[in-house]
Amino acid sequence: MPKVKLSEYATSTIKEICESFNNSESELINVLHQTQSKLGYLPAEVQELIAKELNASTAKVYGVVTFYSFFTMLPQGEFPLSVCMGTACYVRGAEQVLDEIKRQLKIEVGETTADGKFSLNALRCVGACGLAPVVMVGDKVHGRVAPADVKKILAECKEGCPATA
Amino acid sequence: MAENKTHILVCGGTGCLASQADKIIENLKTEIEANDLENDVRVISTGCFGFCEKGPVIKVVPDNTFYTSVKPSDAADIVQEHLIKGRPLQRLLYKNPKNNYHVSDSSKIDFYKKQVRIALRNCGFIDPENIDEYIARDGYAALGTSLSEYTPEEVIDTIKKSGLRGRGGGGFPTGLKWEITRNVENDQKYVVCNADEGDPGAFMDRSILEGDPHSVIEAMAICGYCIGADKGLVYIRAEYPLAINRLKTALTQAREYGLLGEDILGSNFSFDIELRYGAGAFVCGEETALIHSMEGLRGEPTFKPPFPSVSGYFGKPTNVNNVETFANIPVIINKGAEWFSSIGNENSKGTKVFALAGKVNNVGLIEVPMGITLREVIFDIGGGIRDGKKFKAVQTGGPSGGCLTDKELDIPIDYDNLIKAGSMMGSGGMIVMDEDDCMVSIAKFYLEFTLDESCGKCTPCRIGNKRLHEILDKITQGKGTVEDLERLSLLSNVIKDSSLCGLGQTSPNPVLSTLKNFNEEYMAHVTEGKCPAGQCKDLLKYEIDAEMCTGCTLCFRNCPVGAITGERKQPHYINQSLCIKCGVCFQKCKFKAINII
């Protein structure tokens, strides 16, 4: 994994977050949530700093980060794609949709394309089972997606529809 | 709901919001203002109506007119036709598929007829962001009477008599749990609400929190009063932003009204609630794992006893109940234990919320009395199987449950019957499968989930499930043997017997129940190398029927790998060595000329 040099902004943000939780070790998960929402991801250097601030071992922080699927150590793409792999979506063909996205973007689940445009994740139930199978691009939900629709969804992103639309 | 004569209730649940419900609300408001109706009509964004299949749905009260599959562009017509001309807008009414008649009143729609709404009583009726609407529907009355008229022992007694059992899956009697926690002496105790709904394909708790957050807050305060705790914690999935926001709003409002905080309603009882966020770990649904996660640790379960009731959050006595269990509490106190226990059957009282999904016509969130049969749920409420296909199996209990067949369709749904049939109640996911679903693949799907979610602490779960998955993978590739089936069953039983927590103890259930109920399908995979449902990619191929093919070139144009060749108006041909079996041609063909062999 390439080394990341933390910016001054990142360093001060992390310190502020830790302080707002009284630098308490038992607030580790809350600290990680807030840090990820501000910085986008949690590389090793971020974890080291958090460990120092909370007076915990880096191993403990790393153990927690890797335990929970919500936390990521890799930067997400400009368009984070999430395919719902809940059972309702699965029985309506989500796997074929996922396969097609993998094939077109040439990445696996958990990876980001080389140009930083797309990242791919598999989710467990978005709660929109009436629209199964569901693919999310950022916050935007695409419902009743068939493998044949994948091309269009990716093209829409590239044309510059913002991920938060 | 105050002075306005008419209310338009728009479903603001996650599913409907994904289909632009917020835009519908915006357009309705604009149209209402343009027609100077803002003093007579109010538009309210409510919690989930449950009928997700036909979303976005809206309801106009007092006449109960129910509109389905509404689009933002329909707002003008609704205002013109319904509000100004006073007649229902025919084209948006629900159409009964049996006779094609329009049904205007939601209570007369088959989907709602057999439902009994207790936990979901306010979902779709009130504005979840307005405490006054909750209070107008007897909200906080149960907390008031508990604090002023009953002792904690009396409240616990009512809950015990009601027969309420934990709705998170285990089915432990709720009143008894409260009593055990009450009887432990300690200066600090905690009430925890488990809102870490992790079942893939289940969204009951989320809908309650989004549609009626105050019912959970009220119940947690009552629980605090009963067990002697002044602090409550809601452990909620970070992936549920809408539920988190609505819960936060509700907490602020409850504090402003003096229903949380110091000296509630002048009773000397103090109670407040904080939120703790989950971060996507299924195992955290297990009480001890959940508590470790709240303490900022990896969510690994530990051995019980001691139970959380004795030693939980930071070693203090902790009462953990799930969202749906809490949502039942205020009604039980308001209406009495006898009323509640009159619903349901002998050992399972009240109702259960299910997320009905998969291959049924009416996907949605339903609440039914215990004791109803699977047939009634799937065929009456769910409207039967999609596209006229044949029912094959229903999966209850999520990754811990099992698949039931048409033989079990008439058993009454309750905790004990489902276990006897080889599945379980679980938290309420109910996935219906049809003839096109391969049961070996379904078992493999659940195993993939368990593999992902196993915390890794116990060897049988961490390594055993991996081996189970490998064997299933082999079978779906057509490389399995009959001995593999025996190995599956042997290993499954070892994992069940030797795992520490509920996750490992139940993870082989999908394998065991499909092995038992769909043995022929497994045999077809291992002895003939065939997947009868046509799902296992390695065991099937797509072929074009030359007689049916019209040469429209649609498949040729859509094939992503250029495996299809053929001239216009001539039968096409699939080059098997290039085909990646993505199924696009099969979906696109309008002439049913592509066969799965």
Summarised one tens digit per residue, pLDDT across range A5-61 is: 899 999 999 999 999 999 999 999 999 999 999 999 999 999 999 999 999 999 999
Q: Which residues of A touch B240 (CB under 8 A)?
A: 127
Q: Which of A27-36, A46-55, B95-104, B487-496 has the lowest mean pLDDT?
A: B95-104
**Is the bond preceding A43 in cis, omega lying within 30 degrees of 0?**
no
Residue B172 forms contact with A (CB below 8 Å): no
- Using the Cβ of B273 and the Cβ atoms of chain A, whether some distance falls under 8 Å is answered with no
Question: Given CB atoms, is A55 within the 8 Å cutoff of chain B?
Answer: no
Architecture of domain B351-434: Roll (3.10)
pLDDT at B431 over 70: yes
Both structure tokens of A55: 């007076």
Are residues A59 and A115 located together in one domain of the fold? no
> Is the CB of B363 less than 8 angstroms away from the CB of A130?
yes
**Looking at the complex, does the CB of residue A158 fall below 8 Å from at least one CB of chain B?**
no
Query: Which residues of chain B have a CB within 8 Å of the CB of A92?
Result: 358-359
* Alpha-carbon gap, residue B285 to A64, rounded angstroms: 17
Question: Which chain A residues have a beta carbon less than 8 Å from that of B11?
Answer: none
Per-residue confidence at B262, pLDDT binned at 50, 70, 90? very high
Confidence at residue B202, expressed as pLDDT on a 0 to 100 scale: 83
Q: Is residue A154 part of a domain?
A: yes
Q: Which pLDDT score, from 0 to 100, does residue A165 have?
A: 36
Is A61 in the same domain as A35?
A: yes
Look up residue B26 and give its two tokens: 């915006």
Residues A70, B279: C-beta atoms closer than 8 Å: yes
| Segments of chain B assigned to CATH 3.30.70.20 | 541-596
Is A163 a member of any domain?
Answer: no
Chain A interface includes B279 (CB < 8 A): yes
- CB atoms B276 and A27 under 8 Å: no
The rounded distance, in Å, linking the Cα atoms of B511 and B30 is 54
* Res A2 pLDDT > 70: no
Cβ within 8 Å of A, B 484-513: none
Of the pLDDT bands very low, low, confident and very high (cuts 50, 70, 90), residue B15 is confident
List every span in chain B annotated with CATH 3.40.30.10: 6-109
Average pLDDT score over residue span B136-140: 96
The verdict on B402 touching A (C-beta cutoff 8 Å) is: no
Cβ within 8 Å, pair A143-B293: no
State the nearest Cα–Cα gap between B206 and chain A, in angstroms: 8
Residues of B in Cβ contact (< 8 Å) with A125: 199-203
Question: Which of A25, A68, A141 is facing B279, going by the closest CB pair?
Answer: A68
- CATH of residue A123: 3.40.30.10
- Would you list the DSSP string of A69-132? TT--SSPPPSEEEEEE-SHHHHHTTHHHHHHHHHHHHT--TT-B-TTSSEEEEEES--S-GGG-
Per-residue pLDDT of B32-46, as tens digits, reads 999 999 999 999 999
Residues A30 and A59 placed together within one structural domain of the fold:
yes
pLDDT bin (cut points 50, 70, 90) of residue B427 is confident
Contact B52, A128 (CB under 8 A): yes
Fold of B6-109: Glutaredoxin (3.40.30)
Please name the residue of chain A whose CA is at the shortest distance from the CA of residue B557. Answer: A148
Q: Which chain B residues contact residue A147 at CB under 8 A?
A: 582-584, 587
Q: Do A64 and B587 touch (CB under 8 A)?
A: no
What average pLDDT does range B387-399 have in this prediction? Answer: 94
Residues 94-133 of A with CB under 8 A from B: 96, 99-100, 103-104, 123-132
Q: What tens digit of pLDDT does each residue of B533-583 get?
A: 988 989 988 999 999 999 999 999 988 889 999 999 999 999 999 998 888
Q: Which of A24, A40, A67 is the last residue of a domain?
A: A67
- Tally Cβ neighbours within 10 Å of residue A131: 27
User: Is B586 an interface residue toward A (CB < 8 Å)?
Assistant: no
For residues A51 and A86, membership in a common domain is answered with no
Provide the CATH number for the domain formed by B541-596 in this structure. 3.30.70.20
In degrees, rounded to 5, the angle at the alpha carbon of residue B147 between the alpha carbons of residues B145 and B153 is 100
| Span B65-90, average pLDDT | 94
Residues A95-153 have pLDDT tens digits of 999 999 999 999 999 899 999 999 999 887 777 888 889 999 987 889 999 988 999 99
B373–chain A nearest CA distance, Å = 21
Interface residue A83 vs chain B (CB under 8 A): no
A67 with B299: Cβ contact below 8 A: yes
B557 touches chain A (CB under 8 A): no
The reply to whether residue B358 touches residue A123, judged by beta carbons under 8 angstroms, is no
Chain B closest-CA separation from residue A100 CA (Å) = 7
Pair (A62, A119) in one structural domain: no
Q: Which residue of chain B has the CA closest to A104?
A: B560
**Is B128 in the A-facing interface, judged by CB distances under 8 Å?**
no
The predicted structure's pLDDT at residue B415: 93
- pLDDT given for residue A130 in this prediction: 82
CATH architecture of B131-340: 3-Layer(aba) Sandwich (3.40)
SS (H, E, C) B498-561: HCCCHHHHHCCHHHHHHHHHCHHHHHHHHHHCCCCCCCCHHHCCEEECCCCCCCCCHHHHHCCC
Same domain, A84 and A153: yes
The average pLDDT across B512-521 equals 96
Using 50, 70 and 90 to split pLDDT, how confident is the model at A163?
Answer: very low
State the amino acid at position B372 in one-letter form. Answer: I
Mean pLDDT, rounded, for B56-68: 92
Give B160-176 pLDDT, tens digit per residue.
999 999 998 789 999 99
Residue at A113 is within a domain: yes
Question: CA B535 to CA B504: how far, in whole Å?
Answer: 28
Which chain A residue is nearest to residue B584, measuring alpha carbons? Answer: A148
In 3D space, the residue among B448, B440, B430 whose CA is nearest the CA of residue B359 turns out to be: B430
Quote the minimal CA–CA distance from A82 to chain B in Å.
Answer: 12
For residue B272, the distance in angstroms to the closest alpha carbon of chain A comes to 19
Closest alpha carbon within chain B to A64: B298
Total Cβ atoms within 10 A of residue B104: 17
Same domain, A57 and A107: no
Token pair 């989950």 is at which residue? Answer: B278
Alpha-carbon dihedral angle through residues B139, B140, B143, B144, given to the nearest 10 degrees: -120
Cβ contacts of B580 on chain A, cutoff 8 Å: 103
Asked if A90 lies within 8 A of B19 by C-beta distance, the reply is no
Give B558's contacts in chain A (Cβ within 8 Å).
148
CB atoms inside a 10 Å sphere around CB B384? 17
CA B552 to chain centre: 42
Closest alpha carbon within chain B to A31: B296
What would the two tokens of residue B509 be?
A: 């259930």
Residues A121, A153: one domain? yes
Q: What residues in B contact A134, CB-CB < 8 Å?
A: 18
Chain A residue with minimal CA distance to B441? A91
Distance from CA of A130 to the nearest CA of B (A): 5
B175 has a chain A CB within 8 A of its CB: no
pLDDT (0 to 100) of residue B1: 43
Share of chain B above pLDDT 70, in %: 99
Number of domains making up chain A: 2
Closest-CA residue to B21 (of B45, B49, B51): B45
Q: Are strands B65-67 and B58-61 parallel, antiparallel or unpaired?
A: antiparallel
Q: Are residues A124 and B282, on separate chains, in Cβ contact within 8 Å? A: yes
Kindly state whether A61 is in contact with chain B, defined as any CB-CB distance less than 8 angstroms: no
Looking at this protein, which amino acid is placed at residue B29? K
CB contacts of B359 in chain A (<8 Å) are 91-92
Assigned CATH for B439-528: 1.20.1440.230
**How far apart, in whole angstroms, are the C-alpha atoms of residue B588 and residue B559?**
10
- pLDDT category, B361, cuts 50, 70, 90? very high
Residue B422 banded pLDDT, cuts 50, 70, 90: confident
Name which of B208, B282, B199, B202 is nearest B243 in CA terms: B208
Residue A3 CB partners (closer than 8 Å, separation 6+): A45
**Facing residue for B358 by CB, picked from A28, A64, A88:** A88
* Domain co-membership, A87 together with A152: yes
* Full residue range of the structural domain in which residue A110 is found: 79-158
